[in-house]
């Protein structure tokens, strides 16, 4: 294996995982971030995001001298004998005006490093970007001696290290095939199936994958609604269809709508890409509409459970993160439901094992408890919004003594209704009778 000097720009979920994992594979990695506090913390081996195995990998990389953290892309790119041969861009590409991806961070890093890159260097875009970004990056770089490669990332928050080190596949695309092969070689030790393609196709793979997952979830949420109307049980239905290998068991659980740092912005971005290409992606639009409807439907269920009006009703929320295993609140469906409840005057108190402090943007509307028991006092209803496994084994008998009404709206179908029934709770799930 060739050991490469690698720069990783952006040290968030994707950049930090990429940097630490590539260092663990033997490469010399320098990770950059704009956030000086984060760089100082990481240099001391302190990892603030919840990712199993990541603190250990960071500590190992620092101790071995294979991993360093610096402020700013220019410092990571280095020069002379310390010049990076490969530069990964792992900066945010949030939803911008009208739903399109905002590429300001990508452009800003390119402008910062373009004159500093060593001849023969490869710039790799790992951020999720619209088709055509690699080509536009090459124009912005204006360096005939620097190739641009698209290498989308598929890791999931909460299992980022495992996903990076045992990926289902690696996708590398470039119009300069030798540069694509150099990037693919960085991962050779992983032994994963590798798709080598052109840049536009690699960029499209990422959007097509995320939007497919979003559609799958919207589909199952729509099926769940129909199950409720027809007297079927969505758990049996999804088990029955999931055994079909063409469908698969994953991403088949109904919930309060999908969210997180990727699916919402990526579906909106692909929709905008389609509009620009004069294509009406009706299927994707319907998936987004179904998702909004699902959040509203959860609020309808909660309102019905408390007798028709949420004004002044104390509602205890179990879970705030967009899924279990992460503290990430970006576009969390739990918060979307909470915001709708607050708009109707509900008195909200929430608990999440990974979210100990106030939720930005909801400090006035949502009190955060440090113990799940505390959300029960006087609650007109309890609502499970994130599928943390520990909610199954709460002391439901104790909670039953504290609530005003013994009713749980389980938007994740997480709890065992029989267990709760024994202590007097009624459980209303999604897609079930």
Instruction: Lay out the site mask for ligand NAD across 59-98 (x = CB under 6 A, - = otherwise).
Output: --------------x----------------xxxx-----
Query: Tokens 């994740």 identify what position?
Result: 412
Q: How far apart are CA 203 and CA 8, in angstroms?
A: 19
Longest dimension (CA), the chain: 71
Which stretch of DSSP H or E encloses residue 55? helix 54-64
Q: Tell me which stretch binds ligand NAD (CB under 6 A): 6-14, 133-141, 288-296, 363-371.
A: 6-14
Helix (H, G, I), strand (E, B) or coil at 333: helix
Instruction: Lay out the site mask for ligand NAD across 96-115 (x = CB under 6 A, - = otherwise).
Output: ---------x--xx------
Q: How far apart are CA 394 and CA 338, in angstroms?
A: 22
133 touches ligand NAD (CB under 6 A) = no
15 touches ligand NAD (CB under 6 A) = yes
Nearest to 69 by CA among 130, 138, 151, 12: 12
33 touches ligand NAD (CB under 6 A) = yes
Could you tell me the smallest distance in angstroms from the CB atom of residue 322 to ligand NAD? Answer: 10
213 touches ligand NAD (CB under 6 A) = no
Could you tell me the smallest distance in angstroms from the CB atom of residue 290 to ligand NAD? Answer: 22
13 touches ligand NAD (CB under 6 A) = yes
Which residues within the stretch 152-191 sit at the binding site for ligand NAD (CB under 6 A)?
153, 155, 157
Are residues 322 and 346 in contact, defined by beta-carbon separation less than 8 angstroms? no
* 218-221-223-228 Cα dihedral, nearest 10 degrees: -160
Q: Is 90 a catalytic residue?
A: no
Could you tell me the smallest distance in angstroms from the CB atom of residue 400 to ligand NAD? Answer: 37
Write the DSSP string, 156-206: -TTSHHHHHHS-S-EEEE-SSHHHHHHHHHHTGGG---EEEE-HHHHHHHH
Length of the chain: 433
Could you tell me the smallest distance in angstroms from the CB atom of residue 153 to ligand NAD? Answer: 4
Tokens of 237: 């239905």
Q: Tell me which stretch binds ligand NAD (CB under 6 A): 8-16, 50-58, 171-179, 372-380.
A: 8-16
Could you tell me the smallest distance in angstroms from the CB atom of residue 91 to ligand NAD? Answer: 4
Provide the annotated active-site residues.
Answer: 262
What does the binding site for ligand NAD look like in residue numbers (CB under 6 A)?
Answer: 9-15, 32-35, 38, 73, 90-93, 105, 108-109, 127-128, 153, 155, 157, 261-262
């Amino acid at each position: 294996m060739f050991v490469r000097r690698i720069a990783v720009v952006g040290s968030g979920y994707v950049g930090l995982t990429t940097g630490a994992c590539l260092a663990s594979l033997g490469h010399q990695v320098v990770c950059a971030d704009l956030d000086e506090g984060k760089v100082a913390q990481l240099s001391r081996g302190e990892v603030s995001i919840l990712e199993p195995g990541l603190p250990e990998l960071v500590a190992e990389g620092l101790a071995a001298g294979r991993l360093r953290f610096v402020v700013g892309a220019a410092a990571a790119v280095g020069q002379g004998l310390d010049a990076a041969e490969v530069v990964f861009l792992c900066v945010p590409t949030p939803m911008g005006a009208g739903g399109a991806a905002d590429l300001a961070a990508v452009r800003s890093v390119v402008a910062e490093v373009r004159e500093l890159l060593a001849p023969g260097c490869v710039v790799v875009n790992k951020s999720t970007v619209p088709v055509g970004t690699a080509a536009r990056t090459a124009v912005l770089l204006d360096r005939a001696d620097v190739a641009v490669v698209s290498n989308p990332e598929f890791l999931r928050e909460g299992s980022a290290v495992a996903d990076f080190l045992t990926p289902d596949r690696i996708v590398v695309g470039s119009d300069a095939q030798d540069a694509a092969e150099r990037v693919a070689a960085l991962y050779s030790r992983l032994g994963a199936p590798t798709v080598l393609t052109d840049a536009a196709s690699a960029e499209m793979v990422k959007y097509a994958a995320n939007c497919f997952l979003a559609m799958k979830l919207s589909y199952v949420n729509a099926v769940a609604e129909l199950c409720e109307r027809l007297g079927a049980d969505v758990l049996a239905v999804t088990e029955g269809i999931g055994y079909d290998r063409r469908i698969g068991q994953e991403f088949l659980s109904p919930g309060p709508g999908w969210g997180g740092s990727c699916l919402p912005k990526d579906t909106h971005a692909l929709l905008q890409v389609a509009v620009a290409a004069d294509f009406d992606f009706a299927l994707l639009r319907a998936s987004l509409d179904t998702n909004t409807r699902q959040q509203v439907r959860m609020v309808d269920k909660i309102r019905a459970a408390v007798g028709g009006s949420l004004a002044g009703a104390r509602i205890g929320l179990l879970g705030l993160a967009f899924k279990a295993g992460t503290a990430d609140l970006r576009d969390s469906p739990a918060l979307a439901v909470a915001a709708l409840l607050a708009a109707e005057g509900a008195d909200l108190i929430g608990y999440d094992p990974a979210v100990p402090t106030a939720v930005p943007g909801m400090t006035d509307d949502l009190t955060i408890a440090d113990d799940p028991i505390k959300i029960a006092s006087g609650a007109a209803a309890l609502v499970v919004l994130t599928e943390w496994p520990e909610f199954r084994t709460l002391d439901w008998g104790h909670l039953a003594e504290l609530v005003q009404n013994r009713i749980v709206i389980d938007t994740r179908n997480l709890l065992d209704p029989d267990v709760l029934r024994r202590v007097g709770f009624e459980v209303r799930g999604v897609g079930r009778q």
